[in-house]
Structure 1
Amino acid sequence: MRLKSLVVAMATVASLAPIASQAQSAEENPWMVRVRAVDLLFQNGQSNGASTAAGVQINNVRAKNEIIPEFDISYFFTKNIAAELVLTYPQRVNVYSNLTPGPTGTITALPPSLLLQYHFTELGAIKPYVGAGVNYTIFGNRNNFSVGGNSNALTVDQSSFGFVGQVGADYMFDKHWGMNVDVKYATMSTNVTGQNALAGVGNIGKLTLNPWMPAVGVTYKF
Structure 2
Amino acid sequence: MHKSLLSASLFALALAAPIAHAHEAGDIIVRAGAITVNPKADSGDVKVDRGPLAGANLGGKATMSSDTQLGLNFAYMLTNNLAIELLAATPFEHDVKLKGTALDAVNGKLGTLKHLPPTLSLVYYPFDHKAAFQPYVGAGINYTWIYDEHVGSRASAAGFDNFRAKNSWGLAWQVGADYMLTDNVMINAQVRYVDIDTTAYVDNNAVAGGTRAKVDVDVDPWVYMVGLGYKF
Is 2:223 aligned against 1:217?
A: no
- Which residue of 160, 165, 170 maps to 2:168? 160
**2:123 aligned partner:** 117
**2:16 aligned partner:** none
- Which residue of 114, 123, 132 maps to 2:139? 132
Q: Kindly report the root-mean-square deviation, in angstroms, between the aligned alpha carbons of the 2 structures.
A: 2.7
- Which residue of 40, 56, 70 maps to 2:37? 40
- Which residue of 90, 106, 121 maps to 2:112? 106
**2:10 aligned partner:** none
The amino acid across from 1:214 in the alignment is Y
Query: Residue 50 and residue 28 in structure 1: after superposition, are their counterparts in 2 closer, same or farther (change >3 A)?
Result: closer
CA contact (8 A) 1:76 1:82 kept: yes
- Which residue of 30, 46, 50 maps to 1:50? 46
TM-score normalised per structure 2: 0.74
Cα displacement (A) at 1:173: 1.2
CA contact (8 A) 1:153 1:198 kept: no
Q: Distance in 2 between matches of 1:203 and 1:82?
A: 44
Cα displacement (A) at 1:188: 0.5
**2:9 aligned partner:** none
Instruction: State percent identity of aligned pairs.
Output: 28
Is 2:158 aligned against 1:149?
A: yes
Gaps of 5+ in 1: 1-23
Deviations 1:104-123 (A, max 9, x none): 10111011100010112327
Q: Is the partner of 2:179 in helix, strand or coil? A: strand
CA contact (8 A) 1:193 1:201 kept: no
CA contact (8 A) 1:191 1:203 kept: no
Q: Distance in 2 between matches of 1:203 and 1:97?
A: 12
CA contact (8 A) 1:143 1:156 kept: no
Q: Is the partner of 2:61 in helix, strand or coil? A: coil
Gaps of 5+ in 2: 1-20
CA contact (8 A) 1:112 1:136 kept: yes
* Greater displacement, 183-192 / 194-203: 194-203
Cα displacement (A) at 1:124: 2.1
Q: Distance in 2 between matches of 1:212 and 1:150?
A: 34
The amino acid across from 1:192 in the alignment is A
Q: Distance in 2 between matches of 1:173 and 1:28?
A: 20
* Greater displacement, 121-130 / 62-71: 121-130
The amino acid across from 1:32 in the alignment is I
CA contact (8 A) 2:62 2:96 kept: yes
Q: Is the partner of 1:103 in helix, strand or coil? A: strand
Q: Distance in 1 between matches of 2:175 and 2:63?
A: 26
**1:15 aligned partner:** none
CA contact (8 A) 2:69 2:91 kept: no
